[in-house]
């Protein structure tokens, strides 16, 4: 695994408060997080984009995302707000 990269997976429970807390914790030491969305959860790539939007809006700070297939790549922006 490359330094600065963490991997997560969204399963049948979807995006929970615990998942958000895990992301926030991982971003304390990482710059990039890859989140795989299982196809059993979402079969529409537009829903994956909605999940990404929901995630970055619920987290403190400034983040960018990129969708690659059923994977969300979250990156911490240089201009993080506190």
* CATH number, domain containing residue 52: 3.30.110.60
Which residues constitute the domain of residue 40?
Answer: 5-76
Q: Does residue 64 form part of some domain?
A: yes
Q: Does residue 81 form part of some domain?
A: no
Q: What are phi and psi of 23, to 5 degrees?
A: -65, -45
Per-residue pLDDT of the chain (82 residues; tens, 9 = 90+): 456 688 999 988 888 899 999 998 998 888 899 999 998 888 888 999 999 999 999 888 899 999 999 999 999 887 644 4
Q: Does residue 82 form part of some domain?
A: no
pLDDT recorded at residue 82: 46
Q: Using alpha carbons, list the distances in angstroms from residue 34 to 57, 72, 82.
A: 17, 6, 23
Give me the number of domains the chain comprises.
Answer: 1
pLDDT recorded at residue 42: 83
Q: Does residue 53 form part of some domain?
A: yes
pLDDT recorded at residue 5: 80
């Amino acid at each position: 695994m490359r330094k600065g990269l963490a991997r997560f997976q969204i399963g049948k429970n979807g995006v929970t408060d615990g998942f958000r807390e895990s992301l926030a914790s991982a971003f304390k030491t990482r710059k990039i997080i890859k989140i795989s969305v299982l196809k059993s959860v979402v079969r529409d790539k537009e829903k994956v984009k909605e999940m990404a939007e929901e995630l970055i809006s619920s987290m403190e700070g400034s983040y960018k995302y990129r969708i690659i297939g059923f994977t969300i790549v979250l990156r911490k922006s240089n201009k993080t707000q506190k």
